[in-house]
Amino acid sequence: MSGMQTVSAAVLPLVLCLMLGYGLASRVRVFDLFLEGAKEGITVTLRVLPALVAILVAVQMLQASGALDLLTGLLAPLLGLAGIPAEVIPLAILRPISGSGSLAIVDYLLSHYHPDSLIGRITSVMQGSTETTFYTIAIYYGATRVRQTGRTLPAALTGDLVGFIASAVAVHLLFGG
């Protein structure tokens, strides 16, 4: 494991070296170009900030109101039919909506049930194979002039649903139990 961690920790500096080394080799003005590009980072950040405010305000309000617990109660029987254990259903519901919220649930589930238990493994696979869908859609389109995202969200949520069910099935198949 420590070997793998070294490898994944080395990726970022190595990528930086590769890009800069390639720049040096092709004799471009590396530092000036870097500053020029970095300046663009400022405008992009400012451009996505409004979308970020909208999505985080809505998500935080929803979490504080208890509406997500109600939603969990409503959807639990349906997801249970698909073979997802009741304990991980809150994670399935929160995962597409809130990144920090779902991390808290993952941490809770892994400390309560052992990471190598059935629930622990399903939790880990779910967390590792899905993304914070709403956040991604909000900031990616936030960088554009698009107002109608059309079929983006339905398609993305279809993927999430398949991912949740497949997590439970894959853990059952690969680890037994």
Partner 1 sequence: MMTWIFSGMVILATLTGLATGRIEAVSNAALEGAAEAVTLSISLLGALCLWNGIMRVGEAAGLTARLSRLFRPLLRLLFGRELDPDGPAARAITLNLSANLLGLGNAATPFGLAAMKELDRLNPHPETASRAMVMFVVLNTASIELIPATAIALRQQNGSAAPAEILPAVWIVSLLSASAALAAARLLTARDPRRRAGRR
**Interaction residues for partner 1, span 78-137 (CB under 8 A):** 96, 103, 106-107, 110-111, 114-116, 120-121, 124-125, 127-131, 133-134, 136-137
Stretch that binds partner 1, among 75-83, 84-92, 161-169 (CB under 8 A): 161-169
Tokens at 156, concatenated: 């993305």
If one counts every other C-beta atom within 10 angstroms of the C-beta of residue 85, the result is: 15
Burial of residue 16 (CB within 10 Å: 0-12, 13-18, 19+) is exposed
What mask of x and - would describe binding to partner 1 in positions 35 to 54, judged by CB under 8 A?
xxxxxxxx-xx--xx--xxx
Distances (CA, A) of 108 to 88, 105, 114, 128, 168: 11, 5, 10, 16, 18
Between CA 74 and CA 66 the distance in angstroms is 13
**Site residues for partner 1, window 3-32 (CB under 8 A)?**
4, 8, 11-12, 15-16, 18-20, 22-23, 25-26, 28, 30
**What is the total count of residues that contact partner 1 (CB under 8 A)?**
99
138 binds partner 1 (CB under 8 A): yes
